Amino acid sequence: LRPLPYKANTVDEILARDILEHMPHPKVPIVLKDWLRVLKPKGKIY
């Protein structure tokens, strides 16, 4: 898995339906940290 190609704090929302359960368990925290990196301070994950 590669980091999202966005700068930090630039994304308003992430729509992530039916994705985390298909990732290898050890990768989930890495992905979540990257999502939080790109989200704006009041951004939301759905």
1-46 confidence digits (pLDDT tens): 899 999 999 999 999 999 999 999 999 999 999 999 999 999 999 9
Domain extent at residue 36: 11-45
> What pairs with residue 25 in β-bridges?
none
Domain total of the chain: 1
The distance between the two most distant Cα atoms of the chain, rounded to a whole number of Å, is 28
pLDDT of residue 5: 98
Inside any domain, residue 5: no
Inside any domain, residue 30: yes
Inside any domain, residue 41: yes
pLDDT of residue 1: 84
Inside any domain, residue 3: no
Distance between CA atoms of residues 19 and 21, nearest Å: 6
Inside any domain, residue 2: no
| C-alpha dihedral (37, 2, 25, 22), degrees to nearest 10 | 110
The residue with tokens 């979540």 is: 32
